[in-house]
Amino acid sequence: MAQHWAASDANDFETEHRIYHEDAVLEYPQSGERTRGRRNIQNQRASQPSKKRFAVRRMIGSGDLWITEFILTYDGKPSYTVSIMEFKGDKVARETQYFPIRSRPPHGGLNGSSGWTRRFEVRGLGSDGCASVCD
């Protein structure tokens, strides 16, 4: 998994896509896109003109189900993203990625004005390649 995300960040498309079964399925529910097949997934990603960076915040899972929370930055604009990978053996059979729409808190409590919440910022990557969160 770490090799996959490091290759994603480096735009190393061959290494990034070795993790997928030949008949893997990738879904983006928010846009309604579904891509079938490792080569199609790789070609779809390689054709995107944006400059991308990946910063893993955390990975959790075991066995055939792994979830990665990461910051995907397109052309300098961060998007807090979740990837759910379902494995068959040692390869991904299905991945679903969720990209949120950035929003402001509806209750006006940002930066501690209500006393309930505080704003946090994500700082640089640690030696493990994960982003550190500071509040």
Q: How would you classify the pairing of strands 77-88 and 91-98? A: antiparallel
Look at residue 74 in the predicted model and tell me its pLDDT: 83
User: 69: which residues sit within 8 A by CB, 6+ positions away?
Assistant: 56, 57, 58, 59, 80, 81, 82
52 near 44, Cβ under 8 Å? Answer: no
Q: Is residue 31 predicted with pLDDT exceeding 90?
A: no
What global pTM score does this model have? 0.76
User: 15: which residues sit within 8 A by CB, 6+ positions away?
Assistant: 3, 4, 7
How is domain 2-102 classified at the CATH fold level? Nuclear Transport Factor 2; Chain: A, (3.10.450)
- In the numeric block, which tokens belong to residue 13? 């498309």
- In the numeric block, which tokens belong to residue 127? 């030696």
The more confidently predicted of residues 44 and 132 is 44
Look at residue 62 in the predicted model and tell me its pLDDT: 95
Tell me the domain boundaries of the chain.
2-102, 108-135
Look at residue 129 in the predicted model and tell me its pLDDT: 47
